[in-house]
Every structure is written in structure tokens, then in C-alpha cells.
């Protein structure tokens, strides 16, 4: 099964709705998925308000933060596996997601306090997890800001062993404002 | 099948644990692994050690002020303390890696009757491995994790209250308990 949602502003048959705050929401296939591209100012406000040091906040605001919400409204398990997601620009070039290990290595290098590492970690979307019926997951997915509008193609396996129908959701025309470089 | 056999079957069905077949939505049965250590203090320095709470069911709830579902769930946890007759559980809140100011600002508005343990560096939370925040574990009187509640539950809903009542009978709190909840 392949169902494709398109970006806000497309035809009325869209599966994706857009809110004034920039949040896009997809509903279909028993899945609710939202994407919000954060402004560098929002990233700055969140982490600096929690006492993150300036160096860490600067590095955070240089990255594209997509706040993702997912809710499994199906009767079977949905697999959240970020390695199955693709970020593609208009020329079809893939932009790599920054993995949790890469952030952890950076925090180790700049000696970020354990409490801040923990907070940062819990604000990230899990990289791999099963979502039970009725379960939600939320958090940030990060990447270097693509220079132009880009597409998020998310793929979800389903079922206890992942052999159920594959769900695909596509968000187009995502824009990540560039932070201070 | 004889009349006796039918009668026994009926008795077995009636006496089976009420929730063995269907748990309230959002509650997952766990494998009974031993609960990880948990010995933390409140902002006021009162210490709770989960090892000292053996003999009773304990609801361990991990949370953070920035998490949106926590804002919805916390008042329902606070409401558990007003349920009559009292529920056979002890509630322990664990804040993950926040400061006194952040926690105070949140609890004072959202659930002023609750107190929380402070996992200041987030390491205890890490050991418990919640699926996300918020997360709640139900630990049995033997100190084993029996259930996991997916984040954002309404603990005052009829399904959850009935389930909590079905747990072991109330146990008198041990003397000198420093449990910050109820």
C-alpha cells in the first residue's frame, strides 16, 4: 500500500493539513504524524532556558530541528525506524540525518553536563522503537539545514515482526530556516 | 460435560484475575524483571529508596516539565491521592534532569499537592529505560516491574481506577517512610 501526502497548499484531497504555526499533520493508514520545522530562535529559547551553555546552544541552532509527533491508531504495531526515513531536496539529493551517536560524541567533546545530555536525549525522537496501538512518540529529528525546500519520506513497517503492510508518508516543501553559521 | 465440570468452569472464570485478559488501554504487561535501583531525594532533601517499599505496589512515574503529555497526565496522578477508599499503591514521581526552579514552576501550577524526586543528572531514568517521557512503571510487592503505562494516561478514568483497585490490598506504610507522595 502506498499512500502519499503532499505539502500544504496542494489540492483539497490532501491528507496533510497545515496549521498557522507551521505544523503539518498527516492522518491516514491508521497513523497520525505531524512535522514542525523549528526556527533557530525557538531552539535557542528552549535550550538556553534550560541552562544549556552558549557553545551547545550555538551548535544546536546551526542544525535543522524537525519536531515530529506520531500516534499509532492502528490495531497492530507500527515500527518507528529513523534509518528508514529519507530527506531529499528538489534535485533528489539526500540529506543525512544527524544520529544520536553523533550528538553524543559532540557533547562528550565539549564536555556538556550529564543533565543537559539527558535532557537533549529525551527531546530527540527515538531512533528505533515499536509503537503499540494507541501509543504516541514525539521528539526532534535533526539534520544539516538543506539549502532549499526538501521532502521527508517516512516509511514504517507494521506488525509484531514487521512483516505487515508498509506505510509511507511524504511531507513536501519543508523548509528549515538556517541558523547562525 | 457433567454439571460439576460446568460448575467448576464457572468458578474458574469468576475467580480469574479481572485484568488477565484485557488491561486498560495503554497499559502493557511486562516480564517481571527486577526494578532497577532508585534512591533519590526531593528538592527538600527527603530521600526515598524503592527497596524500602517492598511489600506494596509502587507506581513510578518519570516526567519532565517540557513534555506536553506530562502536563495533561500529572493532574490525574495528583487526583489519585483523593480517591476513596485509598488505592493500594504508592506513587513516586521522578523528575528527569531538571533544576529546582523548573520543577517548582511546573508543579506549583499543575499539581501543587505532589512532590517529586529529583534525578538531577538523568542517570536513574536512563537505567529504568522508559520508552519516552512521561512513562509509568508498576512495580509489584516483590520489587518486579509488572506493567508499563504508555505516556499520557488518565489515571482517574474508570478503567485505570478499577485496575489499580484490583492490585493487592492496601498495606500500612512502614514507619519512618520518607515517600514524598502519599
Q: Does B120 touch chain A (CB under 8 A)?
A: yes
Q: Name the grid cell of A23.
A: 505544523
Residue B57 pairs in a beta bridge with: B89
Tens-digit pLDDT profile for residues B80-100: 999 999 999 999 999 999 999
Q: Does any CB of chain B come closer than 8 Å to the CB of residue A17?
A: no
How far does A12 lie from chain B, in Å, by closest CA? 31
All 3 cell numbers of residue A150? 526538501
Gap between the Cα atoms of A31 and A35, Å rounded:
13
Give the residue among A163, A42, A150, A8 at the shortest CA–CA distance from A86: A150
Q: Which of B154, B27, B129, B67 is nearest to A135 (CA)?
A: B27
Count other Cβ atoms within 10 Å, centred on residue A174.
Answer: 20
Q: A104 and chain B: CB distance < 8 Å anywhere?
A: no
Beta-carbon contacts of residue A178 (< 8 Å; ≥ 6 apart): A40, A145
- Taking CA atoms, what residue in B is nearest to A112? B121
Chain B contact set for A51 (CB, 8 A): 99
- Written as tens digits, the pLDDT of chain A (181 aa) is 333 333 433 333 357 888 767 889 999 999 999 999 999 999 999 999 999 999 999 999 999 999 999 999 999 999 999 999 999 998 899 999 999 999 999 999 999 999 999 999 999 999 999 999 999 999 999 999 999 999 999 999 999 999 999 999 999 999 997 755 4
Q: Is the ipTM of this complex over 0.90?
A: no
Q: What integer best gives the mean pLDDT of chain B?
A: 86
B22 touches A: beta carbon within 8 Å: no
* Element at B59 (helix H, strand E): strand B57-63
Amino acid at each position: 500500500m502506498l499512500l502519499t501526502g503532499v505539502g500544504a497548499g496542494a489540492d483539497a484531497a490532501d491528507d496533510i493539513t497545515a496549521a498557522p504555526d507551521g505544523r503539518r499533520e498527516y492522518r491516514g493508514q491508521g497513523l497520525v504524524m505531524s512535522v514542525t520545522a523549528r526556527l533557530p530562535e525557538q531552539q535557542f529559547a528552549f535550550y538556553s532556558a534550560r541552562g544549556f551553555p552558549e557553545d551547545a546552544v550555538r551548535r544546536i541552532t546551526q542544525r535543522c530541528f524537525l519536531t515530529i509527533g506520531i500516534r499509532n491508531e492502528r490495531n497492530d504495531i507500527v515500527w518507528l525506524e529513523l534509518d528508514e526515513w529519507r530527506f531529499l531536496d528538489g534535485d533528489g539529493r539526500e540529506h543525512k540525518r544527524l544520529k544520536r551517536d553523533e550528538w553524543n560524541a559532540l557533547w562528550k567533546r565539549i564536555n556538556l553536563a550529564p543533565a543537559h545530555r539527558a535532557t537533549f536525549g529525551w527531546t530527540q525522537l527515538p531512533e528505533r522503537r515499536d509503537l503499540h496501538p494507541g501509543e504516541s512518540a514525539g521528539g526532534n529529528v535533526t539534520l544539516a539545514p538543506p539549502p532549499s525546500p526538501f521532502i521527508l519520506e517516512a516509511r514504517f513497517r507494521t506488525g509484531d515482526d514487521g512483516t505487515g503492510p508498509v506505510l509511507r508518508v511524504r511531507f513536501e516543501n519543508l523548509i528549515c530556516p538556517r541558523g547562525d553559521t | 460435560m457433567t454439571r460439576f465440570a460446568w460448575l467448576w468452569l464457572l468458578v474458574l472464570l469468576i475467580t480469574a484475575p479481572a485484568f488477565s485478559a484485557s488491561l486498560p488501554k495503554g497499559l502493557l504487561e511486562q516480564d517481571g524483571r527486577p526494578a532497577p535501583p532508585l534512591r533519590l531525594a526531593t528538592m527538600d532533601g527527603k530521600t526515598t529508596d524503592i527497596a524500602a517499599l517492598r511489600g506494596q505496589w509502587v507506581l513510578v512515574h518519570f516526567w519532565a516539565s517540557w513534555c506536553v503529555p506530562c502536563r495533561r497526565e500529572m493532574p490525574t496522578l495528583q487526583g489519585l491521592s483523593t480517591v476513596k477508599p485509598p488505592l493500594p499503591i504508592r506513587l513516586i514521581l521522578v523528575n528527569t534532569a531538571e533544576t529546582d526552579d523548573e520543577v517548582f514552576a511546573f508543579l506549583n501550577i499543575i499539581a501543587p499537592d505532589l512532590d517529586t524526586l529529583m534525578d538531577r543528572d538523568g542517570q536513574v531514568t536512563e537505567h529504568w529505560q522508559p520508552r519516552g517521557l512521561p512513562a509509568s512503571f508498576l512495580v509489584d510487592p516483590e520489587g518486579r516491574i509488572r506493567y508499563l503505562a504508555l505516556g499520557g494516561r488518565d489515571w482517574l478514568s474508570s478503567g485505570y481506577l478499577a485496575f489499580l483497585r484490583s492490585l493487592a490490598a492496601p498495606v500500612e506504610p512502614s514507619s519512618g517512610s520518607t515517600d514524598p507522595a502519599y
